[in-house]
Structure 1
Amino acid sequence: MRRKLRVAAYAVCVREGQLLLARSPGPDGTPEWVLPGGGMEHGEDPYDTVRREVAEETGYRVRVTGLLGVDSLRLIGTRPFGSRFGRRADRHAVRIVYAGEITGGELRYETDGSTDFAAWQDIDAVSGLVRVPLVDTALRLWRERPAAGHLDPTAAPQA
């Protein structure tokens, strides 16, 4: 079985009760909301990754204001989570989640990238959006600020 590790960095940017999100086509082509961020390039520091990715996907410059935590996800199977040609793959995603503050730039959409739209969404409305699970995980990290940077999977989210 093929093993694949992906390390990525994402930003939770909140202002005036709104969360900055980007839109990406899901595995079946249905658009879903994602956090701005993405995969690290070889030799790149995750701090630089999140700043680059936010700029690429939203047009904004971001100042990292804190490390919220690290999330790990492992998926074993065939497409869409595996590899091409129906081979089984063991994929492991390590997601570094930062808090960020917009410091400049103008909202624009990414062209020829993994996202096609970016927008501010009311935090209270996020639960009604079609979104990837990482959005909920990151918002929980942002709200709870666990000292260890890791969520207790057995604990209910705090209101």
Structure 2
Amino acid sequence: MSRRLRVAAYAVCVRDGRILLARWVARDGIKRWTLPGGGMDHGEDPVDTVLREVAEETGYLAEVTALLGIDSMRERQPRKLSGDVDFHGLRVVYEGEITGGELRPETDGSTDLAAWHELTAVPELERVALVDIGLALWRQRPPAGTTRACHGNG
């Protein structure tokens, strides 16, 4: 089985009880809300990645105000022609503050809409798990930068 590592950076931007989300369009056409962010280019700093992605997906300029944590996920992804892939996603999650720009949807990208949502309405949204992970990191501010329980040294 082939292996693939993807490193990405995302922003949790909360203002006046609302969170900024982008609507991701999967390859199968299903749409779910996600944190603005995305894959890091080779040689790119993760802070530069998240600022670029926020601008691309939402139209806003932002600044990073805190590193909230890192989420690591792994899953087997089926591929029709090349066999399954052992996928490992490493997601750097920052707190971001909007500093300028105007809200607009991304053009020719993986998202089709950006919007502010009341924090109380998030549980009702069709969303990816990363939204809940990002909000947990934002609310809890865990010292180790993860909401996962510590499993020892190994």
- The TM-score with structure 1 as length reference comes to 0.91
Q: Deviations over 1:100-119 (max 9, x none)?
A: 00000000110000101000
Aligned in 2, Cα 1:153/1:125: closer, same or farther, shift over 3 Å? farther
For residue 139 of structure 1, what is the aligned residue in structure 2? 135
Q: What secondary structure is seen at the aligned counterpart in 1 of 2:81?
A: helix
Residue 28 (structure 1) shift: 3.4
Residue 77 (structure 1) shift: 3.5
Of 121, 126, 141 in structure 2, the residue corresponding to residue 125 of structure 1 is 121
Of 68, 81, 87 in structure 2, the residue corresponding to residue 91 of structure 1 is 87
Residue 85 (structure 1) shift: 1.7
% same residue: 61
Gaps of 5+ in 2: none
Residue 57 (structure 1) shift: 0.2
Is residue 73 of structure 1 aligned with residue 70 of structure 2? no
Q: Partner amino acid for 1:148?
A: A
For residue 157 of structure 1, what is the aligned residue in structure 2? none
- The TM-score with structure 2 as length reference comes to 0.93
- 2:26, 2:110 within 8 Å by CA — same for their partners in 1? no
- 2:5, 2:87 within 8 Å by CA — same for their partners in 1? yes
Matches within 5 A, 1:46-85: 46-78=46-78, 83-85=79-81
**Superposition CA RMSD, Å:** 1.3
Q: What secondary structure is seen at the aligned counterpart in 1 of 2:137?
A: helix
Q: Partner amino acid for 1:22?
A: A
Residues matched between the structures, number? 150
For residue 24 of structure 1, what is the aligned residue in structure 2? 24
For residue 152 of structure 1, what is the aligned residue in structure 2? 148
Q: What secondary structure is seen at the aligned counterpart in 2 of 1:54?
A: helix
Gaps of 5+ in 1: 155-159
- Runs of 4+ aligned structure 1 residues displaced above 4 Å come to none
